[in-house]
Amino acid sequence: MTDDYLSRIGKLIRDARQHRGWTQSQLAEALGTSQSAVNRIERGNQNISLEMIARIGEALDSEIVSLGYAGPMHLRVVGGRRLSGAIDVKTSKNACVALLCATLLNAGRTTLRRVARIEEVYRILEVLGSIGVRTRWINDGADLEIVPPAELDLEAMDTEAARRTRSVIMFLGPLLHRMDRFRIPYAGGCDLGTRTVQPHMTALRPFGLEVTATDGMYHSHVDRSVAPTRAIVLTERGDTVTENALLAAARHDGVTVIRNASSNYMVQDLCFFLEELGVKVEGVGTTTLTVHGVARIDRDVDYSPSEDPVEAMSLLAAAVITESELTIRRVPVEFLEIELAVLEEMGLDHERGLEYAADNGRTRLVDLTVRPSKLQAPIDKIHPMPFPGINIDNVPFFAAIAAAAQGSTLIHDWVYDNRAIYLTELNRLGAHVKLLDPHRVLVEGPTRWRSAEMMCPPALRPAVVVLLAMMAAPGTSVLRNVYVINRGYEDLAERLNSIGAQIETFRDI
């Protein structure tokens, strides 16, 4: 291996470590080596084996290089091109992973239609397969069939796959009905700062679940004598917290009332799926859910999750910042109504078609055409709120849109500890994003975008925002190590190319 390769690998490792927010000492501790060794590696002054590169990538949750196939995937973007035509919104990533966890409730066969083929789904499938659940893609890979075993083998769980997804935390709700003692790894996923799992514990304790977190594992014990005696009040109106409470209530033989529940899109999809399993859920779409659980579920069910409002927002933002006319089909409009109202105030020129039902028969869809618009910064700040407010995951897209608008926009991402920091990466592409504190940025527009080469932020939505900005920037940009985008979007580069983008995937190691 030449010195040039060593330097390039060292730079990739250094960038991944810095995006993770780690010091050299922290990485050294994770690897069981010294800080000076890490320093030599990052400077390209030390020979490094493929095994060590893989260990570093695992520690940083960043595919520096992977054994068994080529190195990390990058994107080369030729920007400054207008988009045109029409594109369909894919099914919801967050709904699909919740439904996969929910299949653990069912002793029968579950068929999920048009499942998003993304890394997050693959990680959950790896975990399910490792504990004995049989899964297979059917109908030319469009749909997914899930058949559970009579007994799960949790000791055989693929812990590495489990640690790479936050969704594994939603195993707690179903598993507490299947065994008295079990353990699962700490939840992983995007690098969004410390997110406490305490609300999950509060939600599940009324069902007899007690959890001790040690040695990178959640050690769970279930007291069968304990059952909810009054309404469960969630201390956080979180999506996965609500889903965990629903999954626990579904097989509690009685009526469970959940208050301060999220009514977001993925929660509604889960409720609709539970109804297919024979679990009656009242109050769907509100903050109070009443669940009529059943002790045993053994049904062959067929369900179609609805479309992803966050992907719809991604495509809308792509059209806005590239000044394009684009039709986005199958938009779940009820989960974008506040975003569209804000954009209307900013001057967005768009047209909505007539509403029609999603394949689940419940979610309202429209086809949305966006046209080039002269946008003005909003008077009020942009900030997320539980549904029906601006979706937490849609906030980063407003940073790119605000950069294309005239004036100053304050964006307050109060939910995550450090996601706002990643929005300052837009500055490398010509934007003017000022970090006020770890939760707030001030965006000055309009922006004269310029091309750049940079590492992909380790958080999904900011990573896509950077990609969209590259599409607006004249010239050729490079976005390195896009694994995090593949966690949440299916064939995003290819689909954007189908409407006029010019994005090439490549690997260099």
CATH number reported for the structural domain that contains residue 7 in this entry: 1.10.260.40
Contacts of 177 (CB under 8 A, 6+ apart): 105, 248, 251, 252
Is 66 part of any domain?
A: no
Q: Is 445 helix (H, G, I), strand (E, B) or coil?
A: strand
CATH of the domain at 369: 3.65.10.10
Query: Does residue 103 share a domain with residue 21?
Result: no
Neighbours of 290 (CB within 10 A): 17
pLDDT of residue 508: 67
pLDDT of residue 60: 76
Query: Does residue 316 share a domain with residue 196?
Result: no
Check residue 415 and report its DSSP letter. S
Name the stretches of the chain with pLDDT < 70. Answer: 1-5, 19-21, 50-51, 61-71, 187-196, 508-509
Cα distances from 365 to residues 100, 257, 335, 492, in angstroms, run: 23, 29, 10, 21
Is 50 part of any domain?
A: yes
Helices 309-321, 337-346: crossing angle, 10 deg rounding: 20
Is 65 part of any domain?
A: no
Contacts of 31 (CB under 8 A, 6+ apart): 38, 52, 55, 56, 59
pLDDT of residue 287: 95
pLDDT of residue 196: 58
For the segment 374-391, what is each residue's pLDDT rounded down to a tens digit?
A: 999 999 999 999 898 999
Helices 309-321, 395-404: crossing angle, 10 deg rounding: 10
Query: Does residue 311 share a domain with residue 299?
Result: no
Is 465 part of any domain?
A: yes
- State how many domains the chain has: 3
Whole-angstrom distance, CA of residue 310 vs CA of residue 158: 29
Is the bond preceding 149 in cis, omega lying within 30 degrees of 0? no
Residue ending a domain, choose from 270, 303, 336? 303
Query: Does residue 283 share a domain with residue 190?
Result: yes
pLDDT of residue 45: 81
The DSSP line for 252-312 is SSSEEEEES----HHHHHHHHHHHHTT-EEE-TTSSEEEEE--S-----EEE---B-HHHH
Asked whether the beta carbons of 407 and 382 are under 8 A apart, the reply is no
Token pair belonging to 263:
């009514």
Query: Does residue 275 share a domain with residue 158?
Result: yes
Query: Does residue 432 share a domain with residue 334?
Result: yes
Asked whether the beta carbons of 376 and 407 are under 8 A apart, the reply is yes
| Domain, as residue range, for 313 | 74-89+307-506
Neighbours of 437 (CB within 10 A): 9
Token pair belonging to 282:
């009242």
pLDDT of residue 73: 87
pLDDT of residue 39: 83
Phi, psi of 441 (to 5 degrees): -130, 150
pLDDT of residue 391: 93
Q: Is 154 helix (H, G, I), strand (E, B) or coil?
A: helix
Shortest CA distance to 94 belongs to which of 363, 313, 310?
310
Query: Does residue 358 share a domain with residue 336?
Result: yes
Query: Does residue 391 share a domain with residue 324?
Result: yes
Query: Does residue 353 share a domain with residue 205?
Result: no
Is 409 part of any domain?
A: yes
Is 471 part of any domain?
A: yes
Query: Does residue 348 share a domain with residue 492?
Result: yes
CA 247, distance to chain mean position in Å, is: 20
Query: Does residue 384 share a domain with residue 364?
Result: yes
Whole-angstrom distance, CA of residue 99 vs CA of residue 107: 14
Whole-angstrom distance, CA of residue 244 vs CA of residue 101: 9
Residue ending a domain, choose from 263, 278, 303? 303
pLDDT of residue 43: 84
Is 67 part of any domain?
A: no
| Residues facing residue 407 across a β-bridge | 445
Shortest CA distance to 274 belongs to which of 244, 235, 238, 309?
244
Whole-angstrom distance, CA of residue 438 vs CA of residue 293: 42
Is 404 part of any domain?
A: yes
Give the length of the chain. Answer: 509
- In the block, tokens 């390039």 appear at 8
Query: Does residue 441 share a domain with residue 392?
Result: yes
